[in-house]
Structure 1
Amino acid sequence: MADFTVGESDFELDGRPVRLLSGAMHYFRVHEGQWGHRLAMLRAMGLNCVETYVPWNLHEPEPGRLRDAGALGRFLDAAREAGLWAIVRPGPYICAEWENGGLPHWLTGALGTRVRTRDAAYLGQVERWFGQLLPQVVARQIDRGGPVVMVQVENEYGSYGSDQVYLRHLAEFLRACGVTVPLFTSDGPEDHMLTGGSVPGVLATANFGSGAREGFEVLRRHQPSGPLMCMEFWCGWFGHWGAGPVVRDPADAAAALGEILGSGASVNIYMAHGGTNFAGWSGANRSGPLHDGELQPTVTSYDYDAPVDEYGRPTEKFWLFRDVLAQHQNDGAPLPDLPAAPAGLGGPVRAELTGWAPLGNVLEVLGGPESEAATPPTFEELGVD
């Protein structure tokens, strides 16, 4: 058991300053049988922590019907076994280029724009879900011998709204559920985002892919003391259907990582290992000049041009990041060797699609009652996620 706290200028473990060298890896984008290898790859790159979101809609496809809700706990156990701390970002909204931002379709279909606000019906559903999810986080906190060192309140809320009553309620409810490790928020390093997304008394962190010094200067205007952390260092990006792969020069990404660590800050590399959007769970984006205002669906691959690629292999970016991270280990110990590659570790396999399924066959598999309507119903009204 240990005590992990937010100090005046650093994170502290039993009173000693420590730096979080974290990497994002989402348990729901990686086959469970591969968790151990991928976590060992993160450790070999020089990380001491792993971060994951939790997709509510994956685990509760219908109200009250849970699906593999214990997966998070098993992943946190795997992180501990790999010698990593863990950061948990339970949402309820997660973005993550995931279908509906992780919110169940049966919730947003009924409540619309009332989600992510202080609305009583919405908060009631969040509290019911958190009441089922959080015990496996609480039991695995570092002060109980587990790996969890921090838990996030909502997700980049300053990019969406400014309902401070809602954010404070979430933070208070997390505490009421037994979360004792530090809470944090994460937002872009812009004044309106940090104003809308921060909670008094909760550590604010910033998300960016470059310009660390400028980003931390903005964060310091809103939070004069406490440790600095880039909670999402975007070392790559996600891809859209119909567009070419998005890549970032490895040397450029390594230099940006060095700037973050050279500022004395902690970091969470987003993504350290991206994985795959299985079963149609990838989301879509429609926002700002980056996406030209068009709805652009995310591809099945969530490789993200990450240092550990979709297939679990080290890339050039991996080796450059390892060199940077080796200079910033808390204990100065040498980095572990790469784990042995699991059997079958390879690369892309091309598949020829030679058949198709008629609509009648699809409906037979999906099941459910037939219905008629005067106007086309929404998928939510049909119970289709």
Structure 2
Amino acid sequence: MKIRIYYMVLGILLTISVHAQHSFTLSDTAFLLDSKPFVMISGEMHYPRVPREAWRARMKMAKAMGLNTIGTYVFWNVHEPQKGKFDFAGNNDVRAFVKIAQEEGLWVILRPSPYVCAEWEFGGYPYWLQNEEGLIVRSKEVKYLREYAAYIKEVGRQLAPLQVNHGGNILMVQIENEYGSYGSDKEYLEINKKLFIEAGFDGLLYTCDPAPDIAAGHLPGLLPAVNGDVTPSKVHRLIQENHGGVGPYYVAEWYPAWFDWWGTTHHTVPAERYVGKLDSILTAGISINMYMFHGGTTRGFMNGANYNDKSPYEPQISSYDYDAPLDEAGNPTEKFMKFREVIARHLPAGVVLPEVPEAKAAVAVPSFGLGEAGRVSDMLPAPVRNGSPLTFEDLHQDYGFVLYRSKLTGGRAGVLRLKELRDYAVVMVNGGIVGTLDRRLAQDSLALQLPAGEVQLDILVENLGRVNFGPYLLKNRKGITEKVAFNGEEVKGWEMYGLPFKEVKGMRLKKGGDSGHAPVIRRGTFDLPVVGDTYLDMRQWGKGVVWINGHNVGRYWSVGPQQTLYVPVEWLKATRNEVVVLELIKPEQKELKGLDKAVLNEVK
């Protein structure tokens, strides 16, 4: 509840808004908000995946579907990209995100575990942890706990004052994240709890785990929440078994669909399959957090990947549409409307849902040219030299690309082998593309016919996303992580050029520039008589990254299923929208257009 206090100072009326302090506690059967039973109808939405300018609009949509709460992770690698350098500004301003939710009448479930999974790069861990010798994530190892403590204290400075017991809207805070799927060390979980309390999180703490792992992942004394598609009876049984025979009952991740990775079909789940399940959960008075209510977009290089000994490397796509009730652009879907109908039947007497805001208009941008171009190899920084290849981590580079360069004696044929490539390589001889290697397909070798004389070997390596789940969290270095051999003989004498592409301003490109058959950067502009969302149609392109007006809007790859890149209206203008495309394998492509809808399910 917001209270307005009026003061008269020097004849000027001042209005100060203060938020009333609430209580949020547990009974044996229910959550109690100000001592009254309260069912959280929550939806997950991640602030880095939505333009800051659109946060409020998405929250209004949440209210219109009937949600009373928003859930969000807090992402360590977003907020501490380099050791000791914290960033809570712009789209990283999670404090503002929480406060906007409060202004819109929404409670918040906060999930600031250093490990988030979330189909996010390295599960949320910053890459530089791998450069701390002996550091082991998700463990009691001293260096890890020291970095963890420093980070969570910074998060506490931002967010602990916004807990409900301090007048804010954060109802509960989650420690760790699905730890039972990874380990079972209760002492480690107790350390997590202690660090959170020391950081100022003195309200309700909880854990969450998939149903099979809840016994391993919960901490006695804290509420154990369940993740997954579970029946009311199973929720009751699992929580009672791990919480002294009582509730309350909470499904912390209830999945209305699933995420996608490159080369597979788009995952969708008809709303009809979940309407009855949602009704039964709410009828039983069980609180719920839909994962996801609105997925948005994993922009830049922040997607994660799945990998284990039994399955291939699976990097996730940029779209995080998730077949969620609110689509990637923030528009309501059929699933949204059907879930809204269910929720409306469970509202307190007299409560009426707000009208659903209109869907945003999208525009189809006519074809336009990218008339300026330059080869990536002509825009290299100063090299780092070493006898053997260095990883991204060795080069203190987080994301993007590294170009590895060496010399070979030509006039012979042979097999080039990259041992433990991570993750995708464009191989060039004397500046021209001769092939690609793809970790997804377990490719590490390429047959070459070298021309006579000394040959320049270039290998442009892309980090396609660090593993975000499972034991390979501990084996997440990027680049050429071991060695390169030609005909069985190790190639030595490397120059390495870091290409993180954090921004693309000021690139010196030439009009009509011919890239030859090599990775290229192209630039062009388009106008919008009517400014609206659009979707760049990348179906004629090969593989790369796109920036619009300086914003990295994500990766594209002809293998699909994602064939368009969503461009939010908030980042567009009427004239001279600048488009920069980094194209790896089809440098001859020069035309681009926008569609008025997404293409998320075309696999080639």
Pairing 1:317–2:335 present: yes
Q: What does the per-residue CA deviation read over 1:311-360, in whole Å, with 9 as the maximum and x for residues that have no partner?
A: 11110100110011112225650111123556xx4378798896876343
Instruction: Output aligned runs, 1:324-339, within 5 Å.
Output: 324-330=342-348, 332-339=350-357
Q: Which moved more, 1:104-113 or 1:29-38?
A: 104-113
1:67–1:349 CA distance, 2 compared to 1 (3 A): farther
Pairing 1:8–2:28 present: yes
Pairing 1:360–2:360 present: no
Q: What does the per-residue CA deviation read over 1:22-59, in whole Å, with 9 as the maximum and x for residues that have no partner?
A: 00000110000000110000110000000000111112
Question: 1:111 touches 1:122 (CA, 8 Å); kept in 2?
Answer: no
1:254 matched residue in structure 2: 275
Larger radius of gyration: 2
- Choose which of 170, 175, 180 in structure 2 pairs with 1:148: 170
Question: 2:69 touches 2:108 (CA, 8 Å); kept in 1?
Answer: yes
C-alpha distance in 2 between matches for 1:294 and 1:217:
36
Pairing 1:55–2:68 present: no
Measure how far apart 1:210 and its partner are.
Answer: 4.5
Pairing 1:374–2:391 present: no
1:96 matched residue in structure 2: 118
Pairing 1:181–2:198 present: no
1:295 matched residue in structure 2: 313
Measure how far apart 1:374 and its partner are.
Answer: 2.9
Report the 3-state secondary structure (helix = DSSP H, G, I; strand = E; otherwise coil) of the residue aligned with 2:293: coil
1:83 matched residue in structure 2: 105
Report the 3-state secondary structure (helix = DSSP H, G, I; strand = E; otherwise coil) of the residue aligned with 2:289: strand
Q: What does the per-residue CA deviation read over 1:183-227, in whole Å, with 9 as the maximum and x for residues that have no partner?
A: 01010011xx11221111111000003544334423332222121
Calculate the aligned-residue CA RMSD, in Å: 2.2
Question: 1:189 touches 1:216 (CA, 8 Å); kept in 2?
Answer: no
1:362–1:313 CA distance, 2 compared to 1 (3 A): farther
Q: Which moved more, 1:295-304 or 1:207-216?
A: 207-216
C-alpha distance in 2 between matches for 1:246 and 1:160:
25
Amino acid at match of 2:329: Y
Measure how far apart 1:124 and its partner are.
Answer: 0.6
Q: What does the per-residue CA deviation read over 1:290-317, in whole Å, with 9 as the maximum and x for residues that have no partner?
A: xx61110110000000001001111010
Amino acid at match of 1:3: S
The answer to which structure, 1 or 2, has the higher relative contact order (CA under 8 A, 6+ apart) is 1
1:346 matched residue in structure 2: 362
Between Structure 1 and Structure 2, the one with more helix by share is 1
2:397 matched residue in structure 1: 384
- TM-score, structure 1 length as denominator? 0.91
* Structure 2: segments with no counterpart, 5+ residues: 1-20, 399-604
Question: 1:37 touches 1:341 (CA, 8 Å); kept in 2?
Answer: no
Question: 1:108 touches 1:115 (CA, 8 Å); kept in 2?
Answer: no
1:231 matched residue in structure 2: 252
C-alpha distance in 1 between matches for 2:25 and 2:378:
56
Instruction: Output aligned runs, 1:24-35, within 5 Å.
Output: 24-35=44-55
- TM-score, structure 2 length as denominator? 0.59
1:112–1:210 CA distance, 2 compared to 1 (3 A): farther
Instruction: Output aligned runs, 1:62-77, within 5 Å.
Output: 62-68=82-88, 71-77=93-99
Q: What does the per-residue CA deviation read over 1:54-108, in whole Å, with 9 as the maximum and x for residues that have no partner?
A: 1111121111122235611000011001110001100100000000000000013
* Matched-pair identity in %: 38
C-alpha distance in 2 between matches for 1:235 and 1:299:
19
C-alpha distance in 1 between matches for 2:175 and 2:320:
24
Between Structure 1 and Structure 2, the one with more strand by share is 2
Question: 1:286 touches 1:295 (CA, 8 Å); kept in 2?
Answer: yes
* Structure 1: segments with no counterpart, 5+ residues: none
Report the 3-state secondary structure (helix = DSSP H, G, I; strand = E; otherwise coil) of the residue aligned with 1:61: coil
Pairing 1:20–2:20 present: no
2:305 matched residue in structure 1: 284
2:423 matched residue in structure 1: none
Question: 2:235 touches 2:250 (CA, 8 Å); kept in 1?
Answer: no
Question: 1:213 touches 1:260 (CA, 8 Å); kept in 2?
Answer: no
2:56 matched residue in structure 1: 36
Measure how far apart 1:9 and its partner are.
Answer: 1.0
Question: 1:230 touches 1:260 (CA, 8 Å); kept in 2?
Answer: no
1:349–1:227 CA distance, 2 compared to 1 (3 A): farther
- Choose which of 242, 248, 253 in structure 2 pairs with 1:222: 242
1:373–1:351 CA distance, 2 compared to 1 (3 A): farther
Report the 3-state secondary structure (helix = DSSP H, G, I; strand = E; otherwise coil) of the residue aligned with 1:372: strand
Measure how far apart 1:173 and its partner are.
Answer: 1.8
2:326 matched residue in structure 1: 308
Measure how far apart 1:233 and its partner are.
Answer: 0.3
C-alpha distance in 1 between matches for 2:378 and 2:179:
42
Measure how far apart 1:242 and its partner are.
Answer: 1.2
1:104–1:45 CA distance, 2 compared to 1 (3 A): same
Question: 1:26 touches 1:52 (CA, 8 Å); kept in 2?
Answer: yes
Amino acid at match of 2:101: A
Amino acid at match of 2:221: G
C-alpha distance in 2 between matches for 1:96 and 1:51:
12
Report the 3-state secondary structure (helix = DSSP H, G, I; strand = E; otherwise coil) of the residue aligned with 1:379: coil
C-alpha distance in 2 between matches for 1:254 and 1:351:
41
Q: What does the per-residue CA deviation read over 1:150-187, in whole Å, with 9 as the maximum and x for residues that have no partner?
A: 00001000011122222111111211222122101010
1:205 matched residue in structure 2: 225
Pairing 1:157–2:173 present: no
C-alpha distance in 1 between matches for 2:133 and 2:355:
50
2:287 matched residue in structure 1: 266
Report the 3-state secondary structure (helix = DSSP H, G, I; strand = E; otherwise coil) of the residue aligned with 1:264: coil
Question: 2:232 touches 2:286 (CA, 8 Å); kept in 1?
Answer: no
2:143 matched residue in structure 1: 121
